Structure 1
Amino acid sequence: MSASPVLPSSPAGSPSAGSPSAPGPSQAELLDFVRHVAADAELVASLPIDPEGRTWVRLDGPGGSEAWLIGWPPGTGTGWHDHGKSLGAFMTAAGELRENSLAVRLPTDGWKTLELNAGVDRERRLTAGAGRAFGRYHVHEVLNESPVRHAVSVHAYYPPLPLMRRYSRSGQTLRLEQVERPADWQ
C-alpha cells in the first residue's frame, strides 16, 4: 500500500471542527460529506493509482472527522473489520464495490471467537454514486471484485478512528485476529 499527503476537501457549509464542546457530525452529515467529495471528479481523478495495492489520500472531514479517498485495484479488499466507537459513511466514486456486513451487534470486548447465527449476513453492491452510513462497531468487509477495473471510494469517520479490529471468518465463526491503532496505517 502507498500513502499520500493530506488534502483538504471540506465542502462549503460543512460543519467545522469548532469548539471541543460542539457535537461531532452525525451519520447523515458524514454521508453528505462523502457524497459531495465523490462527486468531485477532479479530486477523484487526482488519486494516484497503483496496480498492485490500495492507495489513499487523507482528507479534512467535517466537524473534526477523519476522511479518506481510497483507490482499489481489481481484486482487492479490506478483510473483515470494524471501526471501534466511530460512526462512518462511505460512497463509491468510481467503479463498483461490494460490502459484506453483519446485521448484529457484537460484544465490544472480552472475546476472541464468536459463533454467528444464521441470517446475519448482508450484502450491498455499491456502484458509482452509491454509499451508506453506519453506526459504531459495524463489522464489514469491502471488496473490488472486478477483474479489470479500479474502483475509488470516499470514507469518513467520527470520532477519528481510535482503532480498527480485524477479523477472520470461517463459515459462521468470526475470530478476532488483530487490533490496529492509527500509527499502524498512517
Structure 2
Amino acid sequence: MPPPGSAPSGEPAAPAPTPAQLLDFVRRTAADAELIASLPLDPEGRTWVRLEGPSGSEAWLIGWPPGTGTGWHDHAESVGAFTTARGELTENSLAVRLPSEGWRTLELAADVDHRRALPNGRGRAFGTHHVHEVLNESTTEHAVSVHAYYPPLPLIRRFSRTGTVLRLEQVEQPEDWQ
C-alpha cells in the first residue's frame, strides 16, 4: 500500500485541480475544432463522450439539440467548470448553498436566481453544491460544450422547481450515466 499522499505507483499524487484549472482545461478543449466536430449529434436527445480530464478529473463533451436542457441539479462535493464550444447555452443557477441531506422541499428566497448566457467560447467554474440548470434555448441550432469535475462525480442530485419551491426528486449514482 502506498504511503498517504502518494499515487499507487509510489509517486506523489498530483494535487487536485482547482475550479480555475478545470476552466482552463475546458476552454482549451473547446478550442479543439476537430474534437468538437467529432461528436455525433442526435436531433432528439443529448449526446456525450467521456474525455480524459486533468489530474484525475472527469470530463465530458456534450451535444445539445435545440430546446434541450439538464433540469435543476447539483454535482454534490465536486467542483467543476464548463465552456460552450459551439452555439450558445444558458445557465440558470441559485446563489445559495443547499443542505447536503435531511430535506425534500425547500422554499427559496426571491433574490437567489442568476441567469447567464454562455455563447461560443464562454464558460464558468463553480464550487461544490452548485445548483443549476443548463439549457440550449435555440429552436434551430445544436450547441456543444465541454465539462470537467473533480473529484469525479460521486452523485448528481436532481430537483424540480415550481416558483420559489425546490424539491429533491432523485439522486443518481455514476452507474446511471456512465
The match for 1:161 is: 153
| Secondary structure in structure 1 of the residue aligned to 2:111 | coil
Residue aligning to 2:45: 53
> 23, 33, 36: which one pairs with 2:28?
36
Task: Output the amino acid matched with 2:16.
Answer: G
Tell me, yes or no, if structure 1 residue 97 matches structure 2 residue 89: yes
Output the amino acid matched with 2:81. Answer: A
1:56 positional shift: 0.4
**Residue from 132, 138, 158 that aligns with 1:140:** 132
Q: Percent identity?
A: 75
Amino acid in structure 2 at the alignment position of 1:28: A
Give 1:137 deviation, angstroms.
Answer: 0.4
Offset of 1:28 from its aligned partner?
0.7
Following superposition, the deviation at residue 23 of structure 1 comes to 2.3
What is the count of residue pairs matched by the alignment? 171
1:111 and 2:111 equivalent? no
For residue 33 of structure 2, what is the amino acid of its counterpart? A
CA gap of 1:20–1:121, structure 2 versus 1, over 3 A, is: farther
Correspondence for 1:14: none
TM-score normalised to structure 1 length: 0.89
Letter in 1 for 2:169: E
Match of 1:8 in 2: none
**Where does the alignment leave 5 or more consecutive residues of structure 1 unmatched?**
1-16
Deviation at 1:148, TM superposition (A): 0.2
The Cα shift of 1:21 comes to 3.9
By how many angstroms is 1:20 displaced?
6.8
Report the Cα distance in structure 2 between the residues aligned to 1:120 and 1:129, rounded to whole angstroms. Answer: 26
| CA distance, structure 2, for counterparts of residue 20 and residue 45 of structure 1 | 37
- Residue type at the aligned position of 1:180: E
**Aligned residues: CA RMSD:** 1.6
Cα distance in 2 for residues equivalent to 1:184 and 1:162:
11
Secondary structure of residue in 2 paired with 1:53: coil
Q: 2:116 aligns with which of 124, 143, 150?
A: 124
SS in 2 for 1:43: helix
Moved over 3 A (4+): 17-22
Gaps of 5+ in 2: 1-7
Q: Relative to 1, partners in 2 of residues 1:43 and 1:102: Cα closer, same or farther, differing over 3 Å?
A: same
Q: CA deviation at 1:30?
A: 0.1
Quick one: distance in 2 between partners of 1:100 and 1:150? 19
Q: CA 1:118/1:54 → structure 2, altered by over 3 Å: closer, same or farther? A: same
C-alpha separation in 2, matches of 1:20 and 1:158: 18
Q: Match for residue 5 of structure 2? A: none
Give the aligned partner of residue 151 of structure 1: 143
Cα distance between partner residues in 1 of 2:141 and 2:19: 29
Is the radius of gyration larger for structure 1 or structure 2?
2
